[in-house]
Structure 1
Amino acid sequence: MAWVYILTNRKFGTLYIGATTNLVQRIWQHRNEVVPSFTKRYHLHRLVYFEEHQTIYRAMQRERTMKHWKAEWKVALIEEANPEWDDLYWGIAAG
């Protein structure tokens, strides 16, 4: 399994799109700023969207596609699934 995810610093804030095979671990790394990166620079810790894919190849294809979207499309995707822009990390980390 693999996931595409979107992180932000606040509602309607800066967005980051990534793909991973271990969602909980990867989001933990972002939240704890383990690696120097875009997410560390802008303090993007809030997981506001994720979707599951059968393979990392498909997740990476979707990630690349989404990175080319207009900001409005990304916001609409988040708003449809998570209208309050809640941090979804605690739900996935718990189990």
Structure 2
Amino acid sequence: MTMVVKDPGARIDFEFEWAAAYPDGQAVLASAWTCVPDEPDGVAVAAASHDLLKSVATLTGGIAGHVYRVSNRVTMSDGQIDERSLTVRVEER
């Protein structure tokens, strides 16, 4: 799992590239993002998008000193469901 550091005031995009994991031409049909813990002023997904090969989320907020797990769950064109996560540590920068 990847760890990133985010400032509470930063609004930044994170991306998962799915094409390399599915070389037989499967495509991303659906994508959903979650942040845990879900708390007031915590890291939140402000916007999300996906195309056939990748999914992107714009993350905002977060409480300095807190650690969050941000996950992306996708459904592929062949019906497979997969999930990847990253750890976000929030620090004043």
TM-score range, shorter chain: under 0.3
- Whose strand fraction is larger, Structure 1's or Structure 2's? 2
The TM-score normalised by the length of structure 1 is 0.26
- Whose helix fraction is larger, Structure 1's or Structure 2's? 1
The TM-score normalised by the length of structure 2 is 0.27
- Structure whose CA Rg is larger: 2
Q: Which has the higher contact order (CA 8 A, sep 6+)?
A: 2
